[in-house]
A and B are shown apart, each in its own frame.
Chain A
């Protein structure tokens, strides 16, 4: 079955125009990257059929999902999607189990209780089953939402920052569990993420969006390397203490989206810092650093 996704059209709202031109084979998982407001979420919502203002053409595999010229628009619930929104929406006033059952009973081939239980274990929501979703933390909501999406046995998975509210270890664990599931089910995926590590883990191909357009497309590793080079930070040395090897910098270029540094953090630069001289160093994506540590 073909998994080609074609998007060709535009969505305009006051102060924002998204011109989507995309023809991509989703046999490889796809990551979506870009600054806030670049249109990543809107693109996912167009694919999901949640943007009534979209005009143009949209096709997944052999199914035409939207064709403004012919007046075709397949409603969302018939597109067989799994979607995790950034704010991890659940059905309020119900327990986690009720939420999961709601999803399971609407899948094309209703999944059994066993599958529900095993998915819940994989994404560590098995301990939350009896709780009302209104009492969950952001990270817990995201995990429940993810299990919900997988339970509908989707033909395409759309994730919008699906782990952003989970911290450190949990985040890695959930991303790994998802990556295993994707490999097992060969499920096509489009995943929006700011985290280089997650893109490495989940996406073979990455698209970069800027101001409502897709501006770059390539293998995730290449894209992230290029990204890191672009955003290499630069600083001017203010003061050097030769004895302790400590230097004080003033940042010239620094992107908080790809690195977090606080006073006292250790960084490595390629040249000997001297007072008044500029220094720069390309930032390594975190995942690469981790890989190296692991080696």
Chain B
């Protein structure tokens, strides 16, 4: 039971850190995707959406290949921090950020795109700089997109399994997240403990989606495609 509580806590921490990192990372990216007319945009859009389609094991496999201590990137990380990126919490954060990227970028991109260019123009003629327009006009109008992105990213990270299994393993307090704990309970035929965690996840997923559809209302259109 204590181990399960630890898994719940670790999962919450991972989802929280991932969501925070993604808000900071995805906001400028989504803004660029929303307004850019660059011919590279479809390429970037495709890359961002890849985790939606790829099996998490593929993603996890490549992350393992590129981030392990013998690789270039992983080697630099070890030299700077003295820690390995694979089979560690920091590695899981990186993996989750990539894995959940489209869940943050797409709602934001949709919400930004829904702000008409005419609104930005009228703010500009009133003397608002592009930064002023973004933070004081666009962001308030896109708050539904932010809510959707945050809840989806958080919930999606909570349910992460394949990527973690591939590059995180099952280290209690470091990489043993909820889904891994459930998997282990089932493997050891401990169905009661599995039920406890699985039902909790079901309830949490439902509540997250209900919150989005209820509060974000129209901006949750992105979820319906």
Contacts and interface: CB of A to CB of B under 8 A. Distances in A.
B123 A91 contact: yes
A289 interface: no
A76 B121 contact: yes
B122 A91 contact: yes
B122 A90 contact: yes
Interface in A84-109: 85, 87, 89-93, 102-103, 106-108
Contact of A89 (B121, B136, B140): B121
Contact of A103 (B119, B126, B137, B141): B126
Contacts of B126: 77, 102-103, 106, 148-149, 152
Interface stretch (B87-95, B103-111, B127-135, B160-168): B127-135
Given A75-B130, A89-B118, A91-B119, A81 B141 contact: no
A84 B136 CA distance: 21
Interface string A245-268: 000000000000000000000000
B122 A77 contact: no
Contacts of A92: 119, 141
A80 B119 contact: no
Interface residues of A, number: 25
Contacts of B24: none
Given A77-B129, A85-B118, A93 B141 contact: yes
B120 to A, nearest CB: 10
Contacts of A85: 118, 121-122
B125 A48 contact: yes
A149 B124 CA distance: 11
A81 B132 CA distance: 17
Contacts of B118: 85, 87, 89
Contacts of B132: 77, 106
A76 B125 CA distance: 6
A89 B141 contact: no
A107 B130 CA distance: 16
Contacts of B130: 75, 77
Nearest to A87: B118
Q: Interface size bucket, B side?
A: 10 to 19
B127 A83 contact: no
A50 interface: yes
Contacts of B140: 93
A108 B126 CA distance: 11
Nearest to B141: A93
A61 B125 CA distance: 18
Interface string A131-173: 0000000000000010011001000000000000000000000
Nearest to A148: B126
B216 to A, nearest CB: 14
B137 to A, nearest CB: 6
A106 B129 CA distance: 10
Contacts of A212: none
B127 A91 contact: no
Contacts of A91: 119, 122-123, 137
A82 interface: yes
Given A85-B122, A91-B119, A92-B119, A107 B127 contact: yes
A148 B119 CA distance: 14
A77 B123 CA distance: 8
Contacts of A82: 125
A80 B128 CA distance: 10
Contacts of B122: 83, 85, 89-91, 145
B127 A77 contact: yes
A59 B121 CA distance: 21
Contacts of B124: 50, 75-77
A81 B125 contact: yes
A82 B127 CA distance: 9
Contacts of B119: 89, 91-92
Nearest to A90: B122
Nearest to B123: A91
15 contacts: A50-B121, A76-B121, A77-B125, A80-B127, A85-B118, A87-B118, A89-B119, A89-B122, A91-B122, A91-B123, A91-B137, A93-B140, A103-B127, A106-B127, A148-B126
Given A89-B119, A106-B128, A152-B126, 6 more contacts: A76-B124, A77-B124, A77-B126, A77-B130, A149-B126, A152-B127
10 nearest CB pairs, A to B = A106-B127, A89-B122, A83-B125, A76-B124, A103-B126, A77-B124, A89-B118, A77-B129, A77-B127, A152-B127
Interface of A: 48, 50, 75-77, 80-83, 85, 87, 89-93, 102-103, 106-108, 145, 148-149, 152
